[in-house]
Structure 1
Amino acid sequence: MRHSPFRTKSPERLVAESGADLEGHGLQRTMGLFQLLCFGIGAIVGTGIFVVLADTVPEAGPAVIVSFVLAAVTCVFTAFSFAELGSAIPVSGSSYAYAYATMGELVAFLVGWCLLLEYGVSVSAVAVGWSQYLNELLGALTGRQLPALLSGAPGDGGVVNLPAVAVIAMAAVLLVRGVRESARATAVMAVIKIGVLVVFCAVALTAFDAGNLVPFSPHGLAGIGAGASLAFFSYIGFDAISTAGEEVRNPRRNIPLAILICIGVVTALYCLVAVAALGAMPADEIAGTPAALAVIVDRVTGSGAGAAVVSFGAVVAIASVVLAVMYGQTRILMSISRDGLVPRVFERVSPRTAAPVANTWIVAAVFALPAAFLPLDVVVDLTTVGTLALMAVVNLCVPLLRRARPDLRRGFTVPLYPLSPLLGFGFCLYLVHGLGAATWLRFAAYLAAGAAVYFAYGRSRSRLDAGGAGDAPAPGAG
Structure 2
Amino acid sequence: MTTAHDRRWRRRTPDEAVLTGGTTLKRSLGRIDLTAMGVGTIVGAGIFVITGVAAAEKAGPAIVLSFLLAGLVCVLVALCYSELAAMVPVSGSAYTYTYATLGEGPAFLVGWNLLLEFVIAGSAVAIGWSGTTVSALDSLFGITLPQAITAAPAEGGVVNLPAVLIIAALVAVLVGEVTLTAKITKALVGVTIGVLVLVVAVGAPHIDPGNWVPFAPFGWSGVVGGAAIAFFAFLGFDVVAASAEEARDPKKDIPFAIIGTVLIATLLYALVSAVLTGVAPFAALNNSAPIATAFGALHIGWIGNVIVVASIIALTKGVLLIIYAQVRLAFAMCRDGLLPKRLAATGEHATPVRLTLVLGVCCAAIAGLVPIDIVVELVNIGALSAFAVVCAGVLMLRRLEPERDRPFRTPLVPLVPILALIGCALMALTLDGLTWVRFAVWVAIGVAVYLGYSRRNSVLATTMRGPAKI
Which TM class, normalised by the smaller chain length?
over 0.9
Read off the aligned partner of 1:12 and give its amino acid letter. D
Pair 1:312–1:438, CA change in 2 (3 A): same
Say whether 1:443 aligns with 2:439: yes
Partner of 2:333: 336
Report the alpha carbon displacement of residue 413 of structure 1 after superposing the two structures with TM.
1.0
Partner of 2:406: 410
Alignment equivalent of 1:13, drawn from 4, 16, 21: 16
Measure the CA separation in 1 of the matches of 2:104 and 2:33: 32
Q: Which moved more, 1:319-328 or 1:106-115?
A: 319-328
Partner of 1:27: 25
Partner of 2:47: 49
Report the alpha carbon displacement of residue 292 of structure 1 after superposing the two structures with TM.
2.0
Read off the aligned partner of 2:331 and give its amino acid letter. M
Pair 1:75–1:5, CA change in 2 (3 A): farther
Partner of 1:347: 344
Q: Which string of whole-angstrom CA distances, capped at 9 and with x for unpartnered residues, describes residues 282-326 of structure 1? A: 32333x2442212322333433x3332222122111111111111
**2:114 aligns to what SS in structure 1?**
helix
Measure the CA separation in 1 of the matches of 2:227 and 2:253: 29
Pair 1:338–1:202, CA change in 2 (3 A): same
Measure the CA separation in 2 of the matches of 1:338 and 1:285: 47
Report the alpha carbon displacement of residue 242 of structure 1 after superposing the two structures with TM.
0.7
Partner of 1:361: 357
CA contact (8 A) 2:53 2:288 kept: no
Q: Which string of whole-angstrom CA distances, capped at 9 and with x for unpartnered residues, describes residues 200-219 of structure 1? A: 11111011232321211122
Say whether 1:453 aligns with 2:454: no
* Alignment: residue pair count: 459
Q: Which moved more, 1:311-320 or 1:126-135?
A: 311-320
Partner of 1:76: 75
**2:384 aligns to what SS in structure 1?**
helix
Structure 1 segments of 4+ aligned residues over 4 angstroms from their partners: none
RMSD between superposed Cα atoms in Å: 1.7
Q: Which string of whole-angstrom CA distances, capped at 9 and with x for unpartnered residues, describes residues 254-299 of structure 1? A: 000001111111000000001111222232333x244221232233
Measure the CA separation in 1 of the matches of 2:18 and 2:254: 15
Partner of 1:208: 207
Measure the CA separation in 1 of the matches of 2:462 and 2:315: 42
Measure the CA separation in 2 of the matches of 1:342 and 1:370: 21
Map 1:388-427 onto structure 2 (within 5 A).
388-427=384-423
Pair 1:5–1:57, CA change in 2 (3 A): farther
**2:144 aligns to what SS in structure 1?**
coil
Partner of 2:468: none
The share of aligned pairs that are identical, in percent, is: 39
| Unmatched runs of 5 consecutive residues or more in structure 1 | 469-478
Pair 1:260–1:127, CA change in 2 (3 A): same
Measure the CA separation in 2 of the matches of 1:42 and 1:35: 10
Report the alpha carbon displacement of residue 163 of structure 1 after superposing the two structures with TM.
1.1
Partner of 1:270: 269
CA contact (8 A) 2:344 2:352 kept: yes
Read off the aligned partner of 1:112 and give its amino acid letter. G
CA contact (8 A) 1:88 1:408 kept: no
TM-score scaled to structure 2, two decimals? 0.94
TM-score scaled to structure 1, two decimals? 0.93
Report the alpha carbon displacement of residue 125 of structure 1 after superposing the two structures with TM.
1.4
Partner of 2:194: 195
Partner of 1:259: 258
Report the alpha carbon displacement of residue 139 of structure 1 after superposing the two structures with TM.
1.8
Map 1:366-377 onto structure 2 (within 5 A).
366-377=362-373
Measure the CA separation in 2 of the matches of 1:203 and 1:5: 61
Measure the CA separation in 2 of the matches of 1:70 and 1:5: 40
CA contact (8 A) 1:294 1:306 kept: no
Q: Which string of whole-angstrom CA distances, capped at 9 and with x for unpartnered residues, describes residues 104-139 of structure 1? A: 111000001101111112111111111101112212
Q: Which string of whole-angstrom CA distances, capped at 9 and with x for unpartnered residues, describes residues 345-397 of structure 1? A: 222112x2111111111111122111111111121111111110010001101
**2:19 aligns to what SS in structure 1?**
helix
Report the alpha carbon displacement of residue 30 of structure 1 after superposing the two structures with TM.
0.9
**1:439 aligns to what SS in structure 2?**
helix
Pair 1:279–1:33, CA change in 2 (3 A): same
Pair 1:426–1:402, CA change in 2 (3 A): same
Say whether 1:310 aligns with 2:313: no
Report the alpha carbon displacement of residue 76 of structure 1 after superposing the two structures with TM.
0.7
CA contact (8 A) 2:17 2:90 kept: yes
Partner of 1:472: none
Pair 1:372–1:289, CA change in 2 (3 A): closer
**1:246 aligns to what SS in structure 2?**
helix
| Unmatched runs of 5 consecutive residues or more in structure 2 | 1-5, 465-470
**2:158 aligns to what SS in structure 1?**
coil
Pair 1:16–1:290, CA change in 2 (3 A): closer
Partner of 2:232: 233
Measure the CA separation in 1 of the matches of 2:66 and 2:269: 11
CA contact (8 A) 1:330 1:356 kept: yes
